[in-house]
Structure 1
């Protein structure tokens, strides 16, 4: 199946072109966040999504009923459907919605939960339930576009966006649906969430230099930077897209998912389960490791996570060592939206024959398996398929193979 539409709201920009330019520039988008500064959190910076004109997408009554993650997700999905063209619509029951999220509804729960402590339960807002539903984003996308096929929400932690795209691709491949809107959304840049991540020691601590804090694969990394975003792709049968003369951004040619069953927040240190997932995605695409032009790594900037992923990549590719990039140096760790945004960027870069630089990368950890990490400037390569990997707390693994047109 082919990809015919992109939509995004992110720290790197609110359109695919803006995101591509920011990622190719390799400039971190991390900044101090006023709400975190005011709360005095141990880490007061992150990568918020760039402001966008919500009035273009929502009425005032809708804005009162939608929390931030749903606004980001619905706006990005709207853009993806518009990018697919005015004739993307088809039989409603043959269109699906597949959304990945690590923590949709969490920010609303934390905000609304204050009523209990203030003994004002009788003042809980009427829209509270739809705001805290994890499936709210998927439901609103389906309602807005009248997609009456499967409306699915996946929560595989930070692999959620890739999982949603992969499962949508499987549904189209199996003939259950003709087209889908698939991607991910998360928005948890709140004092509570930041305090929770800080308590388990996963956050980067460069409060004096936020722009230098997200350091995928770098020897001086010390944790991830939390971001917020939504990114969606429209997928459809190749013959359907050809029949309507749609512009094709590329294809989802391979997908695999698994778990390392090792620890609730730490990856399996030897990377073996992640390697099996990547290899399975390549087999699903009918490709050998040498067919891959570059790798879009998960690479959050944690010591344990990046070491395990480096071992996994070494296990899959051996001496071939394709160029590796990590978008999170620019966007921060956007949780369930990460795999979707990275899939979008991977397809755009593959079509251009470019590998983006990894922001803040200087030298690789000497204790990690060696990788060819692209840094400093984008690297020109021949157009070729990309392997995009995503991993999440709980041991979730997902890998996508994305092929340019």
Structure 2
């Protein structure tokens, strides 16, 4: 049998397995218990957060024979049993009661007309025929209009589930006829926990900081995290070792810029040291890192400082404990106004780099301007002459 990628092998089969979307799974399960199922649903959210997976579990549950026949199981469990004929057909991909359409490649009026013709026929087994339409925002306006009447007065046996990453592109006439569920970005700790579970099941040794780095790279998408983990496992394989996944190997694969380089930038700002700032810029350029990516991560670094300054805590900083401690130490050395001005400069420069030439010079110039911003704040601050015999102190950027 061919290899099955992690994202498919560990795809959730029950509502309980879906990560960080309890507000949606609870609502759907309560609807099943109460027998109050709608005919149209819109699942929206970031890629890879469980929209299509939740739609499949829902479609599996509405026709699960045990849920239909066993009131106690329906009330206490409300999960597809995986053992009845309907569930087995679904798992084998032979169920005629569930149809999936990709609106990206089937977005014409003729495709919707064919779907409308099929909707008329009831289920062969179970209670419902479920139609899952992925990337529904890709339908043309004419296709949406052709579908409107069917959605407004659907057959009693039909349930439509629309999945989309761009809710704003769905016409209001369609959205108003459906129940809308917004899937959340998956928190880093939940992604890290799920990846650790997968590594344990695969008997792979891994460092927690390595999984945290994978989770941060995924930016809230579980599928992205699992795909990256597949790459990391292959990259870490070594015939002479146990293939353990280390932070160093993950950083090498992902071309990750270590936090030390971002602290080097803020240290150069604090020390008013342009030579060190240029050295950091040259390290990024000469080692083949992307300048745009570095600026985006530097903005995140300054954002972390800003969060610590305002919250007096690192609870919103997604970094290892040692790095969090360093943020606590450095946050008091800047003023929030200075940090926000530096962020504004970097945001502007980041936009310019996408469309301008001489991006190397613009990148270096932006880093040097950070020193200028901080220096101006110190120069314009009220000066207080030290008393006689006292040593003049170095200005600290916290006012």
Considering only CA atoms, is the larger Rg found in Structure 1 or Structure 2? 2
Greater share of residues in strand: 1
TM-score (norm 2): 0.25
Higher relative contact order (CA 8 A, sep 6+): 1
Greater share of residues in helix: 2
